[in-house]
Homo-oligomer: A and B are copies of this chain.
Amino acid sequence: MGEDLSGGDLSRLRQLNALAVIKALQGRPSLTLTEVAKRTGLSRASAEDVVRELLQKGWVAEAGATAGGVGRPARRYRFRADAGRVLGVDIGGHKIRAVVADLDGNVGERASVPVTPEMGRPERLEAVDAAVAACLEGAGLAAGDVWAAGVGTTGLVDGSGRVMLSEALPEWTGVDLAAHVRRLVPGPVLVENDSKLAARAECWRGVARYAKDMVFLLAGLRTGAGLVIDGKVHRGFANASGEVGALPALGWIRAQEHLKAASGEAGDVFAAARAGERAAVTAVRRYVRDLALGVSALVLALDPQMVVVGGGYSRSADVLIEPLKRELDRWCIRTPEVLMSALGDEAVVLGAVRIALDDVEDRLLDGRTPLVSHL
């Protein structure tokens, strides 16, 4: 070393110090300057400089001062999670959901618009527009207030946010979702497959918070999977991981048919099975047997710590989880924990919020979003 820091280096150092202060404040009600200095390793004078600039920029606010003790109470500061907002969207077969969350990921506003699996592309995209508009209006926000948007959809999604392949929705293959949503909000738009987003959400706020390796099973009108390996959602070479459902031998293609055969609405079959109706009990047993083949293949391949069951059918966990465990015991060398999702219907949209926040944090980390003034 021994050389002077360049302007770029100094600017980077200030950004890192500012980020350290924000990380220290996040998830805590408030800190004094002395506490900020202690938690960041900055000198008290540097901490004061950084906090002053973050106050000016709106990232930090003053909180109520500490009473008690002798002398003037110390000023306290808090992170302004409301300094920015992100948008999460979940494009499902039956519902479009949109939520707005603050920088701590707290969801402030929700909106949803009903759709049908049969609906064509223009109608579904209109429903997306309507859900986003309703959500922003409910939150009292303009489009420009949104820093980043995460979007979840059924189907395979490429790196540019286009749907490469959708079996479930007609006219959905080829839709450029990133481009569409970018017309609605100005910030970056991240698009991802719904099972992968639900897996991400389970690791963030769900039952898989402490899991390193996890298989997320989306059990609903469609069956899908999202894999978490070494704490990260595994995407694969072309973002096509988790697609064991494509292999007929693994049962997912025919799993649905058993439920359809037994009754009109899937919810009814589970209720009927719960009540002991014979045809429904048989249908659910066959469904679980087919479901378990694909799950067993994933478990045998990865040997995960746990399987998390989410999606619409996870509401019927009482008639699904135990039979699923018994089937896994038949095939697996080591049956992992099988847990029901704690996030229910919101897993995908929460995962969408999370990838939007990841993008915001990446841009702070590499300085693309300056926290403090550049030199």
Bound Cα distance A254, B241 (Å): 27
Other-chain residue from B156, B242, B297, B302 in contact with A236 (beta carbon distance below 8 A): B302
A67 within 8 Å of B (CB atoms): no
Chain A residues 51-96 with CB under 8 Å of chain B are: none
Bound Cα distance A297, B236 (Å): 14
A247 and B303 form a contact (CB under 8 A): no
Known A247-B293, A247-B296, A296-B247: A227·B331 in contact at CB below 8 Å: no
Of A168-176, A318-326, A332-340, A355-363, the segment with at least 4 beta carbons within 8 Å of chain B is A332-340
A12 within 8 Å of B (CB atoms): no
B332 and A241 form a contact (CB under 8 A): no
Of all chain B residues, the one with the shortest Cβ separation from A165 is: B333
- Number of A positions contacting B (CB below 8 A): 41
- 0/1 interface trace, chain A 240-255, chain B, CB 8 Å (1 if under): 1111111101110000
In the complex, the 3 A-B pairs of residues with the closest C-beta atoms, listed nearest first: A236-B303, A240-B303, A241-B303
- 0/1 interface trace, chain A 168-209, chain B, CB 8 Å (1 if under): 000000000000000000000000000000000000000000
Of all chain B residues, the one with the shortest Cβ separation from A296 is: B247
Of all chain B residues, the one with the shortest Cβ separation from A303 is: B236
A239 within 8 Å of B (CB atoms): yes
Of all chain B residues, the one with the shortest Cβ separation from A241 is: B303
B296 and A239 form a contact (CB under 8 A): no
